[in-house]
A and B are shown apart, each in its own frame.
Chain A
Amino acid sequence: MGTTVVFRSCVAFTCASFLAALPSLDAGEKTVARVEFNRDIRPILSDKCFFCHGPDAAHRKAKLRLDTEEGARVIVGGKPAESELYGRITQVEGSKRMPPPKSGKTLAKNEIELIRRWIEQGGTFQPHWSFAPPKRPQVPVSRHPWPRNPVDEFVLAKLQALKLTPAPEAAKVTLIRRVYFDLLGLPPSPAQVKAFLKDTRADAYDRLVDALLTSPHFGERMAMYWLDLVRYADTVGYHGDQEHHISPYRDYVIKAFNDNLPFDRFTIEQLAGDLLPNPTTDQLIATGYNRVLQTTHEGGAQDKEYLAIYSADRVRNLGAVWMGATIGCAQCHNHRYDPYTQKDFYRLAAFFADIDERGAFKGPDQTPTKRPPEIAVLSPIDRAEAEAVRQQIAALKLKPNRGDDLAGREKLLAEIEKRKSLTMITKSVKPRVIRVLHRGDWMDTKSEIVDPGAPHFMKPIGAKGRATRLDLARWLTSAEHPQTARVFVNRLWYLYFGKGLSKTLDDGGSQGDWPTHPELLDWLAAEFTRPSLSRGRGAAGAGEIPAWNVKHLVKLLVTSATYRQSSLESDAHRKLDPGNRFFSRQSRYRLPAEMIRDQALAVSGLLADRLGGRSVKPAQPDGYYAHLNFPRRTYVADKGLDQYRRGVYTHWQRTYLHPMLRAFDAPTREECTAQRPISNTPLAALVLLNDPSFVECARVLAARIIKEGGKSDAERIAWAWRQALSRAPHEREVAALARLYQANRKQYADDRAAALKLTSIGAAPRPADLDVAELAAWTSVARVLFNLDETITRN
């Protein structure tokens, strides 16, 4: 076999054998009709062999690579016994045995068996799925009543192959609560639940989804996720971790999702908005993306060292956000599992070499510090208002009697302009020289200089002259790009089903998980970049759907029958699809940190649901910033409505993230986070039990229970239950809370001073007209509601 890599057409995606049971089900005894390189063999070879026999030529042993057809030289198709590969892996011991003992890797029996069968069946290689452009596969046709849209056809085809039936549709009350959290990050109000339950039209749910997609809270919820990816934070991260100016960028992200800015434009504006002709303010704000990484002005920091650190950070993030690739591995050496070379890494770094910045910034040691270039901008709301006032002024100027009116308007305009805040932007300057740093060493001044370019094995960028960030962004968002769309739709899937079609949201490479539904993933990617479905009745009106349409994809997913399933597991589910890999039911998982906070605020009625603006500081324990310095920091919590804003606006201090957010697994945003872990710890329990912000929500809800909840204890309990959990309580649930209420009522009647203490926590006024013992006892009930597993679980 020659040394050129001959990539076959991407047969993996259409191969019917996919519907056979997957060997990766861990059930060795399951029969597999046909072994397939990409699905069955590549993961084994990648994990056990690529480290020495993979894409990294510099590290390759015996000049053998097994990630491409070059590996065919150790294989005799159809004849395992004559194949050197098979001979080596079946050696019991000795120097010929592969993998060698010192690698710490061993092949399991069933892995060896799979390799044997693969060779027996011909031993053909395939290019990696995530490097071939997605093609739109045929949608399976089931003629089954269950599917509501093509998504379901793909899911059903696989379930049928596994002899599984989908779970029944979730109860309406479960469904509305689920879709509210998923699309808005907030629970539905009891009135919204009631209206939905009463709506018996066949398309009631679709109408609900349409309405939610026009809510401004949609953008906030999507931003929560996007900000994790781009590692958005309000502070510089390194050393003194001072504040930097960036919150307008967050508002840009919220607005982009609300306006359904096509994802290709969203990408272009963030990476290269400054390079667009006559960029708008929004497009400049968007380029804050390039600046939101961690930076330093620590005393001994060297400019060149930190320029190299920022450069690598940007390549890691670019790779993680758009390409789902662990390119960061190639900073010091060629990637050992994927074909990225070290040179590829630095060619990507070279795209960012024109960004106007310093490695070691000048400071000062104050907070906020300075990170030029920055511009002063108005929030989107203020900008709209200023524009309206400007038009009024222009109109007034045409009138003869304009006197006081004009002066008043001009004064108003001046006041609005004062609300401008600074934000970091990208400015392009003469590109710095980028070298392929030997082992990533920033002091290297001798190695090869590189120009910007795509990874060598991918479609070239094809710019005239030196390629720019704009060329990079356009390359990423070309419809043939193998990664951008797949990576994004996989993550959308994760947002609505709890895990991706490929479980590894941050690694679509060789070491990543093979997707459970590759055809569906590709179909979604194609539908994202080139929509084929016509627009149904909906908020945006009929007609052709534009490309890279996020809301179109979201709607497709959340209106599918797959999404609408119950999460309740039958015994058959537990047996045949134990990890719910095939989406035979919905998933149940704890809400993200921000939603837990937002829900408590919303349910109590304290939530200030204003959109956008500077980041805010809710209460936190005193002394939490004691180890910060340059300058020393005293946290001053915001007052008034700003204490009650959604979590997405919380001041994000990288080195000391708010303890509530931390306890519920919000990331510090030093690196891209595509999937937050979900922990279940006593520290989280302590937050919900004792954090004054949650106690305040509880006692404010308590006052509403008394005032709005009806007369009897049972009525009030049922009312409160609906506020927190959307559904009506069962008898036993009411009884448990009634007992608690009665006991607390007595205790607080005997100790009114304690009742007064409890009901004075937080800044919200305590209604003076309510009996303090009664209020305290209902506060105890409300605390229980906020602590229930069901309350903080998306179902």
Chain B
Amino acid sequence: MDSHEMTRRAFLGRTSIGFGATALATMLPASLTGAQSADPLSGLPHFAATAKRVIFLYMSGGPSHLELFDPKPALTRMHLEPMPESFTRGQPIAQLQNARLRCFGPQFRFRKAGQSGQELSELLPNLGRIADDIAIVRSMHTDQINHDPAHTVMNTGTQISGRPSMGAWITYGLGSECDNLPGFIVLTSAGGRNPQPISSRQWAPGFLPGRHQGVEFYSSGDPVHYVRNPPGVTRAQQRQTIDAVRELNAIRNEPLRDPEIDTRIAQYEMAFRMQTSVPELMDIASEPRHVREMYGVTGADGSFAYNCLLARRLAERGVRFIQLYHRGWDHHDNIVNYLRQCCGLCDKPSAALVQDLKQRGMLDDTLIIWGGEFGRTPMVQFKGSAPGRDHHIRGFSMWLAGGGVKGGVTYGATDELGYAAVVNPVHVRDLHATMLHTLGIDHARLTYRHQGLDMRLTGVEPARVVDEILA
């Protein structure tokens, strides 16, 4: 390895957040960018991608598949009857430990929607209008039955802490197409039942370089930490300050020729650009009224609707992985009331996002994923003033749209009581493999050496691309 090579590696190794190999390749002389066989990122994309970016609408808390996507008439018939032990024996259980397990019939009706006749809850009328654009997976399953570890499985593929989240993996693999925003951005909203905590480890870079971390944007205070100038400092003065830093760093680097200093100079420029681009991004005043109404946005209020509109703006700017958490789906009690609230907040903006991207021609290369860390039990939980459902991992539903996913499809099935995924089960790993596939990545080949092992998002267990839902 010659010194140029070292320089390039150091440079590639420590540049801006999500400002990855793709963008850098265009900035470096061709002599420095020769492909290396040992580089796990060489050969990317592994095949033609159908998606350039992902928007993950993360319904945190665990939405009930039984009320939203997976109608179960048999469960209605067995309402409040004992849950057959054949389903539950030896299975993990969360808050219903030691309780008598009884069936709980679905609390809302289903309707057929679209040309495809997909069955969707009466709580999701707007989603019904885009039924022909989405693929519903009814056979999801996961490993962990409590929120914190289940989030970790959904985001990192394992419950062991310290592993990179999927957005970090993707920006590591593909870089960003944006030079004034991070490649992986997280937005959070709440509404519904008392929100479960969510940890920043869910968008952490794990053992990947820190620039791949998800950056949280806030709707109150500074949209990104420390993105505003200190009080009493104008933009021109900030420019002068950064110019002085740059000049002095450059003087320092004359004898050193240290690529790390060049990188730092570049990062200060990116920071300065972010100081404009971030507030500009968050300001939706320029969005026409009909667009705002389509999402149901009333202002920069941190609602899920506002965040969905921001997600589209981020997608337009080339951000690679956009993750929106809505915290409020943990319906142990009063599921009727809380589902109405959550669907009231999430149905319209989710559908609007799909429609809006479609009308802009961006749905074709944007993959949308909608769902939570797990589903809910077919069994009733009596807690609080009205009944609800407990956490459930053996079968639940999610939907995907755009980015090469077939519309108007329902895939997989749970058993007659909605307990376990029995037809074409899709593990979280399979979802990850499928997501990576749309981005042109073979999940088995996106690796990073850590503690002597070639680690990957999908881990060591088998993972399958769900071809059946891909166009």
Measured CB to CB, the residues of A under 8 A from B are: 25-27, 46, 104, 108, 237-241, 294, 296, 298-302, 305, 326, 328-329, 337, 443, 504, 506-507, 509-512, 568-569, 574-575, 578-579, 588, 590, 621-624, 626-630, 654-657, 659, 662-663, 665, 668, 670-671, 677-687, 689-692, 695, 730, 732-733, 736-737, 739-740, 743-744, 747, 753-761, 776, 780, 783-784, 787-790
Contact = CB atoms under 8 A, between A and B. Distances in A.
Contacts of B14: 678-680
Task: Report the 8 A-B pairs with minimum CB-CB distance, sorted nearest first.
Answer: A511-B452, A300-B94, A758-B232, A679-B210, A757-B232, A655-B199, A685-B271, A682-B271
B74 interface: no
B234 to A, nearest CB: 7
A240 B451 contact: no
Contacts, number: 249
B120 to A, nearest CB: 29
B115 interface: no
B22 interface: no
Given A237-B161, A663-B225, A690-B229, 7 more contacts: A108-B37, A238-B148, A337-B453, A569-B257, A682-B17, A686-B275, A790-B248
Nearest to B447: A104
11 contacts: A300-B94, A300-B95, A302-B92, A302-B97, A511-B452, A574-B3, A629-B194, A659-B225, A682-B267, A737-B244, A789-B264
B37 A296 contact: no
B263 A680 contact: yes
A663 B226 CA distance: 11
Interface residues of B, number: 90
Contacts of B221: 621-623
B97 A787 contact: no
A268 to B, nearest CB: 27
A681 B213 CA distance: 11
Interface string B156-199: 00001110000000000000000000100000100000111111
Contacts of B162: 670-671
A299 B258 contact: no
A240 B245 CA distance: 41
Contact of B255 (A108, A305, A568, A575): A568
Contacts of B255: 568
Nearest to B151: A239
B245 A655 contact: no
A686 B230 contact: no
Given A671-B162, A681-B16, A747 B2 contact: no
Given A239-B148, A656-B199, A670-B162, A683 B17 contact: yes
Contacts of B327: 627
A759 B232 contact: yes
A789 B252 contact: yes
A644 to B, nearest CB: 18
B3 A682 contact: no
Contacts of B93: 300
A743 B94 contact: no
Contact of A677 (B209, B220, B247): B209
B228 interface: yes
B15 interface: yes
B72 interface: no
Interface stretch (B235-243, B284-292, B313-321): B235-243
Nearest to B251: A732
B245 A787 contact: yes
Contact of B252 (A298, A680, A739, A790): A790
Given A568-B255, A689-B271, A623 B218 contact: yes
A757 B231 contact: yes
Nearest to A680: B14
A622 B221 CA distance: 7
Contact of B211 (A299, A628, A679): A679
Contact of B224 (A329, A337, A677, A686): A686
Given A239-B146, A578-B6, A758-B231, A680 B15 contact: yes
Given A578-B3, A682-B274, A299 B234 contact: no
